[in-house]
């Protein structure tokens, strides 16, 4: 196949992938109910209270401080306005634009939701480019974008008013530019791209901050070189690009934390102020919230043994719409579990066998070059690099750690959206597992089935997504659709 035909084929696949995501996500944008139907649990979680902030920005032309009654969380107390929320600014502008053509509140809700849909399109584009860098022209380069963007819960996240969408987008952007730095070298272009993603991350959900520790360590690693048999850190170059990134972050996101500290007596994160406002509001209405497990004297390991904790976490990681009430049968989720487990198992097996083969080959070196005479095919295929892998693992660990701390010490939540920031890293490993599959010599004739297998998994994931949205979600929304 000529390069021209390959480019056209690639473009067709990309357009189908993007248009499919937009079609499915837009169905949720217009069909799922909003706060107008206050008596149904089919409304997206917390959207009613989050929508108050872009609505306030539209009406007043400024950010709320947090203590205004107009942005208060009904019953529960406090306000999301105490926390970063760059998405709300874009949504306020979107509502302003919509107001030029209509005064219907439902259309304002559509406008606000469309901001997150557009962030989904940006995320989908960067995931596609990231997969291309990781897997080149191999089938896994198509599987990763499909697995990530067509996860039913991911489509849900990009379809209503929240900050999760901005956080997911930022993680994808940062991961892409870090990989670009590792492959192409650190440059001002890649640094600016990473910094832009970091700004979105800083002004989104705090649980998305889990990507920063690993990113910093990976960035430092990129400036380590071996010279004269010794490791050396290119400190000046690291500082040049590091300060450039830091400057963009300070300009793009620093203003929020300075503003928060000025308004809330030094509380630059806004968490203490939010907690104080919640206690004040709850005392006024006499609301008592169930204490977190730690406050009830539950031990941490006892908390981890809570019946159904990880089961429901996985369910709502895959597909659980509305206020975590719209899910489907267990076999549906078992298929996802099998796909994920098989990919991870393949990765572990090929890594272990590759390590064994390397040890066996250690003494068999080329007499001229002194290099290892051969490297197992499974060890070469789909390699994402140990440092980049460690960065991804670090992000997963920190994200799960933040969720466990929040659920144990602050507010017991089993919602999978809290660990969705780990999805990209997890799916990279799963797709790497499928990509690295290599059979023993006597079974090599079956290895040609790997390509249809990977494409078949991608098709299966799309069909599962279509099934959930069109047989579970849309019918459930029928009596509450905003279109009416």
- Of 186, 198, 175, nearest in space to 240 by CA: 186
- pLDDT band at 481, cuts 50/70/90? confident
Question: In this predicted structure, what is the pLDDT of residue 210?
Answer: 95
pLDDT one-digit tens code per residue, 302-361: 999 999 999 999 999 999 999 889 999 999 999 999 999 999 999 999 888 766 666 666
- pLDDT band at 373, cuts 50/70/90? very low
Question: In this predicted structure, what is the pLDDT of residue 375?
Answer: 35
- Mean pLDDT, the chain, whole residue set: 90
| Average pLDDT estimate for 205-220 | 95
Share of the chain above pLDDT 90, in %: 76
pLDDT of 203 > 60? The answer is yes
- Of 120, 50, 60, nearest in space to 85 by CA: 50
Question: In this predicted structure, what is the pLDDT of residue 381?
Answer: 36
Q: What are phi and psi of 326, to 5 degrees?
A: -105, 90
Question: In this predicted structure, what is the pLDDT of residue 422?
Answer: 96
Question: In this predicted structure, what is the pLDDT of residue 432?
Answer: 95
Strands 224-227 vs 230-233: parallel, antiparallel or unpaired: antiparallel
Highest mean pLDDT, choosing among 37-41, 371-375, 430-434:
430-434
Nearest-angstrom CA–CA distance, 336 and 315: 10
Of the listed ranges 70-84, 154-168, 235-249, 252-266, the one predicted with least confidence: 70-84
- Of 218, 128, 131, 214, nearest in space to 181 by CA: 218
| Average pLDDT estimate for 38-50 | 88
| Average pLDDT estimate for 388-417 | 92
pLDDT of 364 > 80? The answer is no
Residues paired with 372 in a beta bridge:
365
pLDDT of 170 > 50? The answer is yes
Question: In this predicted structure, what is the pLDDT of residue 336?
Answer: 98
- pLDDT band at 367, cuts 50/70/90? very low
pLDDT of 183 > 80? The answer is yes
Question: In this predicted structure, what is the pLDDT of residue 350?
Answer: 86
Residue 481 or 47, more confident: 47
pLDDT one-digit tens code per residue, 258-300: 999 999 999 999 999 999 999 898 888 888 888 889 999 999 9
Question: In this predicted structure, what is the pLDDT of residue 358?
Answer: 63
pLDDT of 462 > 80? The answer is yes
| Tokens, residue 251 | 């300009």
Contact assessment for residue 58 and residue 99, using Cβ atoms and an 8 Å cutoff? yes
Question: In this predicted structure, what is the pLDDT of residue 154?
Answer: 98
pLDDT of 48 > 50? The answer is yes
Question: In this predicted structure, what is the pLDDT of residue 193?
Answer: 98
């Amino acid at each position: 196949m000529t390069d021209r035909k390959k480019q056209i084929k690639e473009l067709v696949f990309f357009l189908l992938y993007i248009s499919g995501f937009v079609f499915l996500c837009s169905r949720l944008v217009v069909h799922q109910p909003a706060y107008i139907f206050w008596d149904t649990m089919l409304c997206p979680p917390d959207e009613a209270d989050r929508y108050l902030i872009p609505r306030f920005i539209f009406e007043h032309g400024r950010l709320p401080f947090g203590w205004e009654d107009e942005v208060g969380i009904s019953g529960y107390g406090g306000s999301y306005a105490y926390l970063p929320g760059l998405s709300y600014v874009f949504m306020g502008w979107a509502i302003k634009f919509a107001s030029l053509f209509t005064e219907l509140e439902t259309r304002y809700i559509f406008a606000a939701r469309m901001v997150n849909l557009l962030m989904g399109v940006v995320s989908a584009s960067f995931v596609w480019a990231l997969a291309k860098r990781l897997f080149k022209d191999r089938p896994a380069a198509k599987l990763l974008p499909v697995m990530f963007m067509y996860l039913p819960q991911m489509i849900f996240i990009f379809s209503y008013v929240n900050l999760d969408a901005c956080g997911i987008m930022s993680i994808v952007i940062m991961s892409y530019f870090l990989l670009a730095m590792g492959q192409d070298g650190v440059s001002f272009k890649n640094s600016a791209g990473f910094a832009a993603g970091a700004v979105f991350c800083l002004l989104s959900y705090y649980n998305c901050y889990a990507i920063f520790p690993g990113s910093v360590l990976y960035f430092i690693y990129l400036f380590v070189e071996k010279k004269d048999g010794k490791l050396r850190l290119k400190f000046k170059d690291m500082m040049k690009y590091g300060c450039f990134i830091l400057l963009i972050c300070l300009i793009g996101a620093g203003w929020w934390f300075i503003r928060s500290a000025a308004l809330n007596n030094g509380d630059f994160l806004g968490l203490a102020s939010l907690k104080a406002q919640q206690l004040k509001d709850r005392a006024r209405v006499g609301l008592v919230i169930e204490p977190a497990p730690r406050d009830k004297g539950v031990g941490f390991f006892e908390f981890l043994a809570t019946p159904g904790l990880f089961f429901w976490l996985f369910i709502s990681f895959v597909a659980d719409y509305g206020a975590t009430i719209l899910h489907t049968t267990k076999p549906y989720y078992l298929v996802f579990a099998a796909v994920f487990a098989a990919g991870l198992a393949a990765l572990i097996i090929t890594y272990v066998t590759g390590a064994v083969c390397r040890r066996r080959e250690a003494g068999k070196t080329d007499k001229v070059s002194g290099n290892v005479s051969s490297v197992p095919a499974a060890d070469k295929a789909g390699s994402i690099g140990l440092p980049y892998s460690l960065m991804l693992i670090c992000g997963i660990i920190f994200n799960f750690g933040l969720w466990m701390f929040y659920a144990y010490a602050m507010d017991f939540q089993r919602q999978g959206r809290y660990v969705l920031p780990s999805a990209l890293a997890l799916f990279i490993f799963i797709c790497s597992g499928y990509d690295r599959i290599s059979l023993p010599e006597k079974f090599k004739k079956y290895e040609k089935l790997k390509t249809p297998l990977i494409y078949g998994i991608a098709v299966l994931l799309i069909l599962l997504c279509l099934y959930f949205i069109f047989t579970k979600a849309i019918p459930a929304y029928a009596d509450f659709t905003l279109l009416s």
